[in-house]
A = this chain, B = another copy of it.
């Protein structure tokens, strides 16, 4: 038998199990004392969303919703939530993972009814809110994955792999960021920064140009808007290893928002604190870079422009850098992709642009 996993992952697991036990215990306690069991959780309605400037993310306000088995309208969501807590407990105990879709179908094995997956997704978010823990903590993962590469040794805590170590620089196409990586402990690294990159092609270019060695960087392919488990890993690298996080995306409002969600999270995870990296820095590609570097570009379309206007009003975007760049989008009506730098040859983005930007980051 390998020795039981120690440290952060195991501590988190115990916390989740204890929180789940409390939910069950409160139901039993109520029943034994002749009362209707109920559960209270912070409201996630738009009216209860508050932007916290210090945490740099949305948080939930003081409004609370109650699901009581006394109320005929509440019985269904209350029962579903209780079943989900039971199922989550089983997943964590048995050390199995599941997906959002899987939970929807698994319910049927227990004659637990969900009209469709959107209903079960909603209850999963309820449980997150009740526990103030991400669903990844109770082993419910998304289907999408992104990848990581760099000089780092990790040690798995995943069952069957406990204690085994993995060097993240051995596979140049990258290792998928899934349940095993998310729960691994970071053992050793010479990295001095994390570079999060929107696109797989550029990720591979960075690997080929040895950015991980030349700049002592861990490279993360976010594969578009990163799945939550990837944001969670980025946060862990920042918090546990004190590594600065730099983000490179396309120069369009969608790319900017990828950077923003890595930094400040999304409105629908306002009940969580583990998916943001408040100190993460958006280094490009800026709207203004299109001019500075004379990049090949396309015209912003109507949808892009509508999106810029939305972001301008978003409380996450109040800082000068973000406001200026959004205004530049509106003024020039241009967008460009990361690959546009290939206009100056394949290695320009590493040899010149990345160097410029890391220099710039020093004064941010």
Contacts known (A147-B145, A296-B108); A339 close to B210, Cβ less than 8 A: no
Given contacts A101-B337, A172-B158, contact A96 B208 (CB under 8 A): yes
Q: Which of A101, A104, A145, A158 has the most CB of B within 10 A?
A: A145
Contact assessment for B201 and A143 in the assembled complex, using a CB-CB cutoff below 8 Å: yes
Whether, in the assembled complex, A351 has its beta carbon less than 8 Å from a beta carbon of chain B, the answer is no
Give the chain B neighbours of A48 by CB distance below 8 A.
none
Choose among B144, B179, B346 the residue that contacts A204 (Cβ–Cβ < 8 A): B179
Least Cβ–Cβ distance between A193 and chain B, in angstroms: 21
Q: Which of A159-167, A254-262, A266-274, A302-310 contacts B (4 or more CB under 8 A)?
A: A159-167
Taking a contact as CB atoms under 8 Å apart, the answer to whether A173 and B181 are in contact is: yes
In chain A, positions 174-228 with a C-beta closer than 8 Å to chain B are 174-181, 199-201, 204-205, 208, 210, 223
Please give me the residue from chain B that is nearest to A100 by CB atom: B201
- Does any Cβ of B come within 8 Å of A340's Cβ? yes
Given A105-B296, A171-B181, A210-B160, A98 contacting B201 (CB threshold 8 A): yes
A71 located at the interface, meaning its Cβ lies under 8 Å from any Cβ of chain B in the complex: no
Which residues of chain B are within 8 angstroms of A108 by Cβ–Cβ distance? 296, 342-343
Counting CB contacts under 8 A, is A11 at the interface? Answer: no
A98: chain B residues at CB < 8 Å are 201, 342, 346
Residue of B171, B179, B204, B296 near A175 (CB, 8 A) is B171
Please give, as numbers and ranges, the residues of chain B lying within 8 Å of A143 by CB-CB distance.
199-201
Does A173 contact B166, Cβ atoms closer than 8 Å?
no
Q: Report if A35 contacts B (CB, 8 A).
A: no
Whether the pair A173, B177 counts as a contact (CB closer than 8 A) is yes
Interface contact A145-B166, CB-CB below 8 Å: no
Tell yes or no: A156 within 8 A of B by CB.
yes
Q: Are B101 and A201 in contact (CB under 8 A)?
A: yes
Q: Across the interface, do A109 and B345 meet the contact criterion of CB distance under 8 Å?
A: yes
Cβ–Cβ < 8 Å partners of A97 in chain B: 204-205, 208
Chain B residues positioned under 8 Å from A208 (CB to CB): 96-97, 159-160
Write out, one digit per residue, whether chain A residues 128-162 have a CB within 8 A of any chain B CB (1) or not (0): 00000000000001011101000000001011110
- Contact residues of A with B, CB < 8 Å? 96-99, 101-102, 104-106, 108-109, 141, 143-145, 147, 156, 158-161, 164, 166, 170-181, 199-201, 204-205, 208, 210, 223, 296, 337, 339-346
- Which 7 pairs show the lowest CB-CB distances between chains A and B? A173-B178, A99-B201, A105-B342, A172-B180, A173-B176, A108-B343, A106-B342
Give 30 A-B contacts (CB < 8 Å), ordered by A residue. A96-B205, A96-B346, A97-B204, A98-B342, A99-B204, A99-B339, A101-B337, A102-B201, A102-B339, A102-B346, A105-B340, A105-B343, A106-B343, A106-B345, A106-B346, A108-B343, A144-B200, A145-B147, A145-B174, A161-B172, A166-B171, A171-B171, A171-B176, A173-B175, A173-B180, A174-B176, A174-B178, A175-B175, A178-B204, A179-B204
